[in-house]
Chains A and B, each alone.
Chain A
Amino acid sequence: MNSSNSEKASLPQRNEFWKLVFPWVLTALFLLFLPVIFASNSALTIMNQMAITIIFALAYNMLLGQGGMLSFGHAVYMGVGGFMCVHVMNYVEINSAPLSLPFLPIFGGLFGLGLATLVGTFSTRSAGTVFAMISLGVGELIAACSLIIVAFFGGEEGVSADRTYMRPFFEIEFFTQIEVYYLTSVWLLISALLMYLFSRTPIGRMANAVRDNPERAEFLGYSARWVRYYSFCASGFFCGIAGALFAINFEILTEENLNLATSGSILLVTFLGGVGVFFGPIIGAVLFTLLQTVLGLYTELWQLYLGALFLATVMFFPQGFAGVLVSHAPAARNGRLGSLFIPYVKMAAPSAVCLWSVAGLAELLFHARHAALGEEEMVYFGINMLSTSVIPWTVFGGLAVISFGICRTVAPSVLEAWDKAITPKGMAQ
């Protein structure tokens, strides 16, 4: 009797367990076979950069998404971890200490953790605006120090090291990009898993509670400040790991790794991806790295587009990309996901044309203002045009207005289809 009962209980449990483990196994396999498809060195470099950004963004989201703390100076934890790792690499090279490269991120993590435990003592006293301001001040302070304390930060040229002088790891000396890719991937998997598990622990859950209602959490007997402090330290640890991986990949760290621009871009990455969902920052990091590398090749204005995209996200989709994806879950449960396809296409086509022509106008204007004197020809999506002639301006302007008009007329029907899709069957009015 007893045994059959426990068997019945363990079956759903085992199902739950597989539901938890399966995505991670899939991710591991995916990471393992990814270089088979993208084998070139430049692709590997981009993927490594993505992995580092993913770890950093996930660590950042431990604060922003899970703890409700907005940090404007988070690059310093990654940066200081990275700087320390460069020094560790140099130390190993000079003293031939017994340390091989795959273990370096542990050091990076510990240094990030150390800095976070120090700063956290006074910065996590409150969340919200005050925390944001303190993080900004500390970030700026350390970034400014990097130009003063030359012995540690190396001044303007930064500090560099050579990863290949570390002790070989099972005969691997990390000369090639692919070896570094696998090292980075393993650490990506480990840290993402640990961060996921952290969000499942009681302290991770309490972080959510403190984010939503600190007063109530305090009445339950938890110190909101300590809960924030633990999240902050954990985030510092993983930032340090990201910094170490950066040091391994690029073998140099400069002031750029500490400054406000880097801190801001990680906020952008995390928010674009979506702060409410664990995998949101991963999407954000992948998208951002692709945008940066691909869009950066084609246009000088990519940062302008990125800024506009960011602002639009904050205003219209504050739940980010992942949040939008997740909001489709009710529709999928109702089995009505397919009914959204045609309305979406109807909306996407004019929006794409609208964006394309607005971007065209921007490129025209930029070219007209900044091109060298006498240079009138420019290329946009393979089309040659003169930025001084009236034709492209009218064509883009007209297209933008017309497609925007179509968007506006289509929008109500799309919203209606959406409402229908997320209403459970049998509940229709």
Chain B
Amino acid sequence: MELVVINIIDGLVTGLLLFMLSSGLTLIFSMMGVLNFAHASFYMLGAYFAYQISSITGFWMGLLIAPVIVGVGGALVERYGLRRVHQFGHVPELIFTFGLALLIEELVQFFWGKNQMAYESPETLQFAAFAIGGNSVPAYKVFMIFISVGIFLGLLYVLTRTRVGMVIQAALSYPRTVEALGHNVPLVFMGVFGVGTALAGVAGVIAGPVLGTFPGMAVVLGSIVFVTIVIGGLGSLWGALVASLLIGWLTTFAASYNVEFETILKFFGMEKPEIMSESALRDIWTLTLPQIGPILPYILMILILVFRPNGLFGKRDA
């Protein structure tokens, strides 16, 4: 039972982290119809900037400043890069963001090298918040949960309760009409792109100490984020939330229960081959659940696409 609770907390942390990335991504997608392939790269930039700032002024200034820099950078990319490519169509836009992801990874290696950075959580949070059945939960994890939930509530409030949010929501569905009403839609686009990348930056700042700050961190998380928004349904914020949590829990639970495939196969009445090294299916017999944990999201995505092509909550056929 304790293990279940611990896993629920761990999965929640992973899921909320994913949500911070996928929410920005899905907002940008539903607004401009472009999937920002470089989204996870902005997450990486957030971690690196925060590391650089925190080495001078400490963690908390990093948490404040790094996302702002990332957001401004994102807005500039939209203004001077994406808007230029927009005229060529969606596929060139996607290729542009892909090239941007490549370039950001190279730039990070250019400035900070290939090794992992010594970016650590602040000392004030380096204690065990509480313990469940002998497993202590670090305070930093609780802090991560609070930050992400806070951001989610803030986002929800801005989008549904404020004037700016109304304009954004309207611009999502009827950009031309909103423009005709006198709103500066390109500016709204730029703002949404900036805020979306800033959210990714926040995720990077708080995930950097836990998941490690290294040049491959964008690739590690990047494709999972895309899988998340495909599962949730492209353009759906609630779908992104549900899919993020689902994937968070799925991977966490898979990693901690050592179910062997042998027992499952035997349960279905299959015979274990006598000489394992000769059998072509030997890998299936020796598989364990933690081993296939990392690929579960992809399998889930393919299943969803086959049976529900629009994703869990998706309405639009992109």
Contacts and interface: CB of A to CB of B under 8 A. Distances in A.
Interface of A: 64, 68, 70, 72, 122-123, 125-126, 128-130, 132-134, 136-138, 140-141, 144-145, 148-152, 260, 264, 267-268, 271, 301, 303-304, 307-308, 310-311, 314-315, 318, 362, 365-366, 369-370
B317 A137 contact: no
A318 B298 contact: no
A129 B234 contact: yes
Contacts of A150: 283
B305 A307 contact: no
B44 to A, nearest CB: 15
Contact of B94 (A70, A140, A260): A70
A62 B281 CA distance: 35
A132 B94 contact: yes
Interface stretch (B16-24, B106-114, B155-163): B106-114
B95 A148 contact: no
Given A308-B103, A318-B88, A144 B298 contact: yes
B302 A149 contact: no
B227 interface: yes
B209 interface: no
Interface of B is mostly: helix
Contact of B102 (A128, A144, A149, A310): A310
Contacts of B291: 148
B292 interface: yes
A293 B177 CA distance: 53
A238 B76 CA distance: 40
B294 interface: yes
A311 B100 contact: yes
Given A149-B283, A370-B113, A314 B35 contact: no
B184 interface: no
A201 B77 CA distance: 41
B110 A133 contact: no
9 contacts: A122-B305, A137-B230, A144-B298, A151-B282, A307-B99, A307-B106, A314-B95, A362-B110, A369-B111
Interface in B283-318: 283, 287, 291-292, 294-295, 298-299, 301-302, 305-306, 309, 317-318
B238 interface: no
Given A68-B91, A137-B302, A260-B223, A366 B110 contact: yes
B318 A301 contact: no
Given A122-B309, A152-B283, A315-B81, 5 more contacts: A137-B227, A149-B283, A260-B219, A315-B84, A362-B110
Contacts of B299: 141
Given A151-B280, A307-B103, A366-B110, A70 B298 contact: no
B142 interface: no
A153 B38 CA distance: 30
Contacts of B81: 311, 315
A301 B110 CA distance: 8
B85 A315 contact: yes
A267 B98 contact: yes
B290 to A, nearest CB: 11
A366 B107 CA distance: 10
Given A122-B302, A122-B305, A308-B103, A129 B280 contact: no
B140 interface: no
Contacts of B227: 133, 137, 140
Contacts of A152: 283
Output the residue of A130, A150, A314 with the most chain B CB within 10 A: A314
Contacts of B309: 122, 125-126, 130
Interface string B72-99: 0000000001001100101110111011
B48 interface: no
Q: Give the top 10 A-B pairs by smallest Cβ distance, nearest first.
A: A141-B298, A307-B103, A304-B106, A311-B99, A307-B102, A144-B295, A310-B99, A314-B96, A137-B301, A140-B223
B103 A132 contact: no
Output the residue of B99, B317, B318 with the most chain A CB within 10 A: B99
A148 B298 contact: no
A178 B226 CA distance: 45
A130 B311 CA distance: 11
Given A151-B282, A308-B103, A314-B85, A138 B110 contact: no
Contact of A145 (B223, B230, B295): B295
Output the residue of A128, A134, A137, A144 with the most chain B CB within 10 A: A137
B295 A141 contact: yes
A204 B33 CA distance: 28
A129 B318 contact: yes
A152 B283 CA distance: 9
Nearest to A316: B84
B285 to A, nearest CB: 10
Contact of A314 (B99, B107, B318): B99
A380 B106 CA distance: 20
A141 B302 contact: yes
Interface in B21-35: 29, 33-35
A144 B294 contact: yes
B273 to A, nearest CB: 12
Given A151-B282, A315-B85, A318-B85, A126 B317 contact: yes
A129 B33 contact: yes
